[in-house]
Structure 1
Amino acid sequence: MTRVMEISSQERLRNSGLRPTRQRIALADLIFAKGDRHLTVEELHEEAVAAGVPISLATVYNTLHQFTEAGIIRVLAVESAKTYFDTNVSDHHHFFIEGENEVLDIPVSNIQIGNLPEPPEGMEISHVDVVIRLRHKSRR
């Protein structure tokens, strides 16, 4: 039986070039403990407070952006009022449920994207994000 060893938050931070401070480790533990997911700064701050981690909203914000720059999470902008952070950094797309502010993964194999425009001189496409907005069907 093969067992997959989960990487510790401290190792994850070191491997990405970030110094594993107490606050970064605590936030990484919270972020990655539940597997792949999407969360906002406010949601992570609430989780941290509930877990007894003394941390300001500004520190959570700054830390999430440091994690993004280090490549261990990615930013997902689905609406102008909220930014979501995604622990799944692989190529994939998203459903966004309007009114519920819920984000769900769509495997990249389920969508084919073609006829992309040529990027401007000296530029290259790093990745393509598709967000499909959903709403509940109206009852007639």
Structure 2
Amino acid sequence: MDRLHKRLARAGLLPTRQRKAIAGLLFTDGDRHLTADELYAEAREAGLRVSRATVYNTLHAFVNGGLLREVPIEPDRSYFDTNPEHACHVYFDDTRQLIEVRLDPGELRRLARRLGGIDPERLSVVIHVRGAPPPRLARRLRAAHRH
């Protein structure tokens, strides 16, 4: 059994040919943030014969299986994050770029204490910024997007 097959099976998902192909696009290049339409374009470019509906359904199955996190940006726009852990994201409205800011576990514990000692199941924060990323960050984003 290959690595992707095992990963899908551990998430309780039937490892179909299409799911394995889409998982291969998503999970072989480190942490990524992309929309369903971007993944659909990648799949077509890679020669996968999948419909847009299959891509959407597969992404939502992966979210439900804990393999991805959906990051809603606007009512009609979501990104899918291949790192489903606690995260803070910064979204640049003008360039439609999303970056992840890793959270220190200590910060999460302090936040939980401030909220009355609750134990959050998951934390997801999106900070919207007008304009484009600063030059140093823009270079990092371009380098990451080349993968």
- TM-score interval (norm. to shorter): 0.7 to 0.9
Aligned partners of 1:35 and 1:23: how far apart in 2? 20
TM-score, length basis structure 2? 0.77
8 and 105 in structure 1: CA distance in 2 versus 1, 3 angstrom threshold: same
Q: Distance in 1 between matches of 2:75 and 2:99?
A: 18
TM-score, length-scaled by structure 1? 0.81
Q: What RMSD, in angstroms, separates the aligned Cα atoms of the two structures?
A: 2.3
Size of the aligned set, in residue pairs, is: 127
- More deviation, 43-52/108-117: 108-117
Q: Choose which of 66, 70, 75 in structure 1 pairs with 2:65.
A: 70
Relative to its length, the structure with more helix (as a share) is 2
Aligned to 1:113: 111
2:14 paired residue among 11, 19, 43: 19
What residue in structure 2 maps to residue 61 of structure 1?
56
* 2:127 is aligned with 1:132: yes
The residue aligned with 2:145 is none
> For residue 81 of structure 2, what is the amino acid of its counterpart?
D
Q: 2:25 aligns with which of 23, 30, 33?
A: 30
Mapped partners of 1:15, 1:81: distance in 2: 30
In structure 2, the residue corresponding to 1:130 is in which secondary structure?
Answer: strand
The CA deviation string for residues 53-105 of structure 1, in whole angstroms up to 9 with x for no partner, is 00000010001000011001111112222011110011121111111111101
* Structure having the higher Rg: 1
Instruction: Give the fraction of aligned pairs with identical amino acids, expressed as a percent.
Output: 39
- Pick one of 42, 51, 61 that aligns with 2:46: 51
- The CA distance in 2 between the partners of 1:113 and 1:52, in whole Å, is 45
Instruction: Report deviation, 1:106.
Output: 0.5
Query: Structure 2 vs 1, CA of residues 59 and 117 (structure 1 numbering), >3 Å: closer, same or farther?
Result: farther
1:90 alignment partner, SS class: coil
After superposing on structure 2, the runs of 4+ consecutive aligned residues of structure 1 that deviate more than 6 Å are none
Could you list the runs of 5+ residues in structure 1 that have no partner in the other structure? 1-6
Amino acid across the alignment from 2:10: N
